[in-house]
Amino acid sequence: MGVYIGIDPGLASVGYGIVKQEGSAICSLSYGVIETSSAEDQVGRLITIFNGISEQCRRYKPTIGGVETLYFAKNVTSALPVAQARGVILLALGLQGIEVREFTPNQIKATVLGSGKADKGQVQRMVQIILGLQDIPKPNHAADALAAAIACTGAVL
């Protein structure tokens, strides 16, 4: 029994998903994306992300937050703004006493699908089934965040 938040970090679009586990049942409490515009300045975007995540945490009071790790093969310049946003996300969780667990994308896929080899569509479909949602959760970032939240439950699915 517990409430968990999952987050798919980004700068333009941060996916979040909050799930509640009771016994073997897991349901979705909330999911979506926090969007920021490149027309906004960098600091304004970080504030939007911080406030958005903080608000979700205040409302649903998760005890554990699962946050995707970043992976950047080459382009360090494009990685830095996203890493800055991720720092703000970790801070938002930490300031509310939420325990942070970090998962690689493959770890998250393995949790919901039993294998790290899966495409986006399979993850979305499996998240839908696990949470008993009527529709496929969209956009992708929100589905990934729900998958990260499911990974927090530690449930063998």
Q: Which stretch binds a second copy (CB under 8 A): 37-45, 111-119, 134-142, 146-154?
A: 37-45
Instruction: Point out which span in 40-48, 105-113, 119-127, 134-142 binds a second copy (CB under 8 A).
Output: 40-48
Contact 101, 64 (CB under 8 A): yes
How many binding residues for a second copy (CB under 8 A)? Answer: 26
* CA 54 and chain centroid, separation: 13
Nearer to a second copy by Cβ, of 1 and 39: the residue is 39
Establish if 84 lies at the interface with a second copy (CB under 8 A). Answer: yes
Sheet with 13-22: strands ordered across: 25-35, 13-22, 2-8, 64-68, 99-103
Residue 26, H or E segment: strand 25-35
Interface with a second copy (CB under 8 A), residue from 18, 26, 88, 127: 88
Q: Which is nearer to a second copy, 67 or 150 (CB)?
A: 67
């703000």: which residue's tokens? 88
